[in-house]
Amino acid sequence: MKHFNITFEPGGRQISIREGATLLEAAGKAGIILNTVCGGKGICKKCLVSLQPSGEQVPACQYRIQNDITVTIPATSRFFEQRILASGIETQAEIQPDIYKQYLEIATPDKVLGVAVDIGTTTVVVKLIDMTNGQCLATCADINPQSRFGDDVVSRIAYAATDAKLAELNKIIIDCINELITRLCEQASVEPKDIYEMCVVGNTTMNHIFLKFPIEQLGQAPYKAFSLDANDLSANKMPLHINPAGNIHTVENIAGFVGADTTAVALATGVDSAEETTLVIDIGTNGELALAAGDKLYAASCAAGPAFEGARITCGSRAAEGAIEAVVVSNDDIDLDVIGACPARSICGSGLIDAVAVLLELGIIDSSGRFARPGTIKGNLPPAIVSRICEEQGQPAFALASAEEAGGQEVVLTQADIRQVQLAKAAIRAGTKLLQKKVGLGDSDIKQIFLAGAFGNYIRKESALRIGLLPDVGPERIHFVGNAAASGAQMILVSRRWRELAKDLARKIEYVEIAHEKQFSDVFAGCMLF
Ligand code: FES
């Protein structure tokens, strides 16, 4: 597949993307979320960008990439900047950092920086923010090193049964954040001493481990949080590498299994003020759901597991260089989009969803997720595709990239991998179904879906719908909002008003415990099917 380099201004972010992709996809890949009010139909013109050097304005959702190009994105076309950094007067009104008090105590600080932190069960994302204008100066992410003690919150809770073990998990996450702060500062050529404010979000378990709050009760019914409140801690009380005069703010949790990250997502997506029935799905190891219907706001969580983050998958990885991020059928074979335009080494969440959709479409796996036996596949598959059906450690598999194509180790998708995808998608779909049921909404009642999560904006909507990950709505109703938890943390970091709003939201959201619904097992089993 031919690739081109796209540079986004302001900021100079550069990515490489396949020929024929839209500028909207390219922006998503660069981590820039554009407004897509009409769902990419080319009608609303909310995603306008200008091509350089001509200055020609085009809708990003319609413009197909045919060459290397530099693109300028106005603030009015950006989804989050609209909320945080909308141009002119609104910018002045929105940036209200809480750290003004501390200006008086600090001798002539030359820079005033903040860090937004999203502690996910599997990944940790940090953003370095200039507190004077809200600009993001650098972003870094890493695997949550607590993963070695279990890849979901339940195993972390079980591990932290003693104070010593809880302290161990706390130290691990603090060390990880410190390491990420070092990387942020190197990237932006600034000093950690210039960081005066930190805003931390995460699910309730991650929040409690960060604060060294007891978590044992989160593992037993009724799964009560030790605290749902926001906290402000003096930086000199925590071994975090920021200015000791700084402040660390943790955001309000909603319930034992729906934490501050959902509060941040709800804030960033503005779901509470949505005029239409809106479902927000934050896909992570712990999938979080928020549903706005009328003037009510509900939230629930589902244990998706880390498959979409690349864990428990034979050749799975995060969205890193060499990871397959898209799979399509082309020229009687499959065609791959690999991050970094290099030989494939692994497959990440978006590639996984695409690959399963393609295998279903080709009849190589059936609706129960089983690989078809050779000779039972309906229709005539092209020989190049048939040659990819193989066996891996005694189980049926499909070679997405042969050893030759991958320049070494082949990248395969096995029967066990398909099962992991089924478990993850069934958890999310069963969660949304039960939440809808509770509120009395069918799929057609949902007017828009915001898909959040670190890899949210890379997923192909059609593939997500094909595997049954999402409610059955038209693709035009699905909008990607990227890592909305980190964006929400950024908003709360820079503005007292957003901080107040987050507090109101957390108290307004009604938690729905879906995993204990009587029909849960039946609905979950039904959702395992493709
Ligand atoms: S015109 Fe591009 S999203 Fe509406």
pLDDT in tens, 500-516: 999 999 999 999 988 77
Give me the phi and psi of 424, to 5 degrees please: -65, -45
- Average pLDDT (129-156) is 88
- Decide if 427 contacts 302 (C-beta within 8 A): yes
Q: Are 200 and 248 in contact (CB under 8 A)?
A: yes
The answer, yes or no, to whether any atom of ligand 1 lies below 6 A from the CB of 45, is yes
Q: Inform me whether the pLDDT recorded for 87 exceeds 60.
A: no
pLDDT band at 457 (very low <50, low <70, confident <90, very high): low
- CA 282, 288, 289, 290 dihedral sign is negative
SS3 of residue 246 by DSSP: coil
Mean pLDDT of 243-266: 95
Residue 93: which pLDDT band, with cuts at 50, 70 and 90?
A: very low
Q: Ligand 1 pocket test: which of 46, 78, 448, 481 has the largest number of ligand atoms within 8 Å of its C-beta?
A: 46
Which of 74, 14, 39, 81 lies closest to 487 in space, CA to CA? 81
Q: Is the CB of 42 under 6 A from ligand 1?
A: yes
What's the rounded Cα separation, in Å, for the pair 441 and 435?
9
pLDDT given at position 24: 87
The CA distance from 211 to 319, in Å, is: 29
Identify any residues that bridge with 52 across adjacent strands, giving them in sequence order: 70
Q: Is the CB of 47 under 6 A from ligand 1?
A: yes
Determine the distance separating the centroid of ligand 1 and the alpha carbon of 288, expressed in angstroms.
27
* pLDDT above 90 (res 40): no
Please tell me the predicted confidence (pLDDT) of residue 101.
Answer: 46
Q: Does residue 64 register a pLDDT over 70?
A: yes
Residue type at 455 in one-letter notation: F
pLDDT of residue 109: 58
Q: Quote the CA–CA distance of 424 and 94 in Å, as a whole number.
A: 38
Would you state the pLDDT for residue 245?
Answer: 93
Question: CA neighbours within 13 Å on the CB side: how many for 209?
Answer: 32
Cis peptide leading into 374, omega within 30 of 0?
no
Across the chain, mean pLDDT equals 88
Q: What is the mean pLDDT of residues 18-28?
A: 86
Sequence-distant (6+) residues with CB within 8 A of 193 are: 242, 243
Instruction: Give the CA-trace dihedral at 120, 123, 129, 134, to 10 degrees.
Output: -60
**pLDDT (tens digit, 9 = 90+) per residue, 289-336?**
999 999 899 999 998 888 888 878 999 987 778 899 899 998 899 999
Ligand 1 atom with least separation from CA of 44: 4
Distance from C-alpha of 396 to C-alpha of 115, rounded to nearest angstrom: 46
Q: At residue 360, what is the residue type? A: L
Position with higher pLDDT, 110 vs 236: 236
Predicted structure pTM score:
0.80
**Sign of the four-CA dihedral 181, 186, 188, 194:** positive
pLDDT higher at 197 or 454: 197
Residue 456 beta carbon below 6 angstroms from any ligand 1 atom: no
Q: Judge if the beta carbon of residue 381 lies within 6 A of ligand 1.
A: no
Examine the pLDDT at 375 and tell me if it is beyond 90: no
Spatial CA neighbour of 119 closest among 144, 153, 156, 99: 144
What pLDDT digit, counting tens, does each position of 258-281 carry?
Answer: 999 999 999 999 998 888 999 999
* Ligand 1 atom at minimum distance from 61 CA: 2
Q: Show the tokens assigned to 240.
A: 């975090």
Average pLDDT over residues 124-143: 91
Q: Give the H or E element holding residue 522.
A: helix 520-527
Atom of ligand 1 nearest to the CA of 47: 2
| Cα of 293 from ligand 1 centre, angstroms | 25
Which of 76-90, 94-108, 160-174, 470-484 has the highest average model confidence (pLDDT)?
A: 160-174
pLDDT of residue 88: 29
Cα dihedral 347, 352, 354, 358 in deg (nearest 10): 100
pLDDT > 80? residue 454: no
**Look-up: residue for tokens 């307004």?**
508
**164: buried, middle or exposed (CB in 10 Å: 19+, 13-18, 0-12)?**
exposed
Q: How far is CA 267 from CA 150, 252, 436, 487, 494, in A?
A: 30, 12, 21, 9, 13
Radius of gyration for the chain, computed over Cα atoms and rounded to the nearest angstrom? 23
User: Ligand 1 in contact with 36 (CB < 6 A)?
Assistant: yes
46 lines ligand 1 (CB under 6 A): yes
Cβ of 22 closer than 6 Å to ligand 1, yes or no, is no
Check if 27 has its Cβ closer than 6 Å to any atom of ligand 1: no
Reported as type and span, the H/E element at residue 6 is strand 3-9
Give mean pLDDT, residues 44-50: 87
- For residue 253, pLDDT over 50 is answered with yes
Point out the least confidently predicted range of 26-35, 88-97, 421-430: 88-97
Going from the Cα of 457 to the center of ligand 1, the distance in angstroms, rounded, reads: 15
What pLDDT, in 10s, does the model give residues 200-238?
999 999 999 999 999 999 988 888 999 999 999 999 999
- Beta-bridged to residue 326, according to DSSP, are 337
249 pLDDT band, cuts 50/70/90, is very high
Q: What is the mean pLDDT of residues 347-371?
A: 94
**Euclidean distance between CA atoms 261 and 118, whole angstroms:** 7
Residue type, 273: S
Q: What angle do CA 501, 507, 513 make, to 5 degrees?
A: 130
Q: In what order do the strands lie in the sheet with 296-303?
A: 478-482, 448-452, 278-282, 286-293, 296-303, 510-511
**Ligand 1 mean position, distance from CA 309 (Å):** 29
3-state secondary structure string across 375-406: CCCCCCCCHHHHCCEEEECCEEEEEEECHHHH
- 81 or 127: which leads in pLDDT: 127
Give the strand pairing for 323-330 and 346-347.
Answer: parallel
Dist. CA 73 → ligand 1 center (Å): 14
Of 198, 204, 92, which is closest to residue 156 (Cα–Cα)? Answer: 204
Q: Is the pLDDT of residue 86 over 50?
A: no
Which residue type does 334 have?
Answer: I
Of residues 63 and 86, more confidence is placed in: 63
Say if strands 448-452 and 478-482 run parallel, antiparallel, or are unpaired: parallel
Output the CA 117–ligand 1 centroid distance in Å: 31
Angle formed at CA 95 by CA 91 and CA 97, multiple of 5 degrees:
175
Closest atom of ligand 1 to CA, residue 38: 4
What separation in Å is there between the alpha carbon of 48 and the centre of ligand 1? 8
From the alpha carbon of 48, which atom of ligand 1 is closest? 2
E strands, 420-502, in order: 448-452, 478-482
Residue 111: which residues within 8 A CB-CB, separation 6 or more? 130, 190, 191, 194
* Cβ of 44 less than 6 Å from ligand 1: yes
d(CA 126, CA 137): 11
Q: Rounded CA gap, 249 and 201, in Å?
A: 9
99 C-beta closer than 6 A to ligand 1 = no
Residues 6+ apart with CB under 8 A from 151: 121, 122, 285, 305, 306, 311, 312
Residue 38 in contact with ligand 1 by CB distance below 6 A: yes
H helix intervals, 257-382? 260-269, 349-361
Rounded mean pLDDT of 446-455?
86
473 φ/ψ angles, rounded to the nearest 5 degrees: -125, 165
pLDDT at residue 13, as a whole number: 81
Percent of the chain surpassing pLDDT 90: 59
* 8 A C-beta contact, residue 8 and residue 73: yes
